[in-house]
Amino acid sequence: MVAGTNPVEASLAMKSPFYTAEHDAFRDAMRRFVEKEITPFAHDWDEAGEFPRALYRKAAGIGLLGLGFPEEYGGIAADQFMKIVASQELARAGAGGVSASLMSHTIGSPPIARAARAEVRARVLPQVLAGEKISALAITEPGGGSDVANLRTRARRDGDDYVVSGEKTFITSGMRADYLTVAVRTGGEGAGGVSLLLIDGDTPGLSRTKLKKMGWWASDTATLHFDACRVPAENLIGEEGQGFKIIMQNFNCERMGMAASCTAFARVCLDEAIAYAKERTTFGKPLAQHQVIRHKIVDMAQKVAASQAMLEMLAWRLEQGESPVAEICMMKNQATQTMAFCASEAVQIFGGAGFMRGIKAERIYREVKVNAIGGGTEEIMKDLASRQMGL
């Protein structure tokens, strides 16, 4: 059993047959890192609206940033379960904003590793994986939401450059990203006209506007404005017109990561609720001795256990080479709904104390909706899943 686990956590997570000694060793390292470098500062960073850039280098130092990336660029071989460990240990701090921006390269850089030119990969990836530079993904637009096939940001070829004009919004790490993986329209209407470009953060004509949010306060989120930005044609990721396919592949990984995090955030709420219910006394006895509270806690534990089991089985299927798109969509909804339920019940158990800033459950409660929306809304996940099911 990993140090610091409680009986509930042990029963829910530590008996899984999917984790090896290597996974457990990495879990130990991640837990020490989070307890030392994130948890003590999470509240203050949230209030400040940012966290120190130095955290990226520290995360790189334990191998977190390199997970799953090519070793030739500083990456580390990692299976799906190693990625689950990373996401779920980060979530123990109850600071989704920190996790989102610290790990924004996990959605910004895979297209670079997969499809960029060799010289671009060699220039960009080592810096990102060492925590020296920040990578972000820019797809969503002010008028388009998740309708990627109909995006409007245009990239016009002009000699050795593309000239990019348009806007992106809700971009995680958008304010301080050094590298932006941007979805643009290089061709006609529809998915076939979409391409991906790597745009340097200091490109002339690029400006950024910081956004204020319901949750994820420590994560910088921005609207990006591209005013005739000239981007070298060699920064094209993949071939012209192939961007939509790369984006869809990226979404599957993003949704698995979100599902892992949301399940873990739900467990954080469960753990906090149990601890508080044992120490808080009402009507002459601890909260935990009131039947209604015990039933709430069991309902929370049941949903967390179900979500974790579904997550791990899907991870195993991915390791076998399958591509269960419908189930990944349903998993994302399952996890975000579990998070929403557990955050709400935890705040209810805390009562007035749960309405006060400073506890993890309150912070997680504010972050429920961004997870239910980001990476594809619940409605889009259901529609994608139904189409995969032949409906």
Q: Could you list the active site residues?
A: 254
- Nearest CA to 211 out of 197, 225, 194, 230 is that of 225
| Strand, helix or coil for residue 180 | strand
In this structure, which amino acid lies at residue 97? Answer: G
What is d(CA 234, CA 344) in angstroms, rounded to the nearest whole number?
Answer: 49
What is d(CA 78, CA 93) in angstroms, rounded to the nearest whole number?
Answer: 23
Beta pairing class for 221-232 and 161-172 = antiparallel
Helix 325-350 to helix 378-388 angle (10° resolution) is: 150
- Nearest CA to 328 out of 248, 265, 390, 266 is that of 248
H or E element, residue 138: strand 135-138
Q: Which residue has the tokens 């039933």?
A: 295
What is d(CA 134, CA 319) in angstroms, rounded to the nearest whole number?
Answer: 28
Q: Which residue has the tokens 């808080």?
A: 280
What is d(CA 311, CA 305) in angstroms, rounded to the nearest whole number?
Answer: 10
Q: What are phi and psi of 179, to 5 degrees?
A: -130, 130
What is d(CA 85, CA 31) in angstroms, rounded to the nearest whole number?
Answer: 10
CB hemisphere CA count around 78 (13 angstroms): 23
What is d(CA 337, CA 237) in angstroms, rounded to the nearest whole number?
Answer: 35
Counting every residue, how long is the chain?
391
Query: What is the helix, strand, coil percentage profile of the chain, to 5?
Result: 55, 15, 30
Whether residue 180 contacts residue 224, with contact meaning beta carbons closer than 8 Å, is answered with: yes
Beta pairing class for 179-185 and 135-138 = parallel
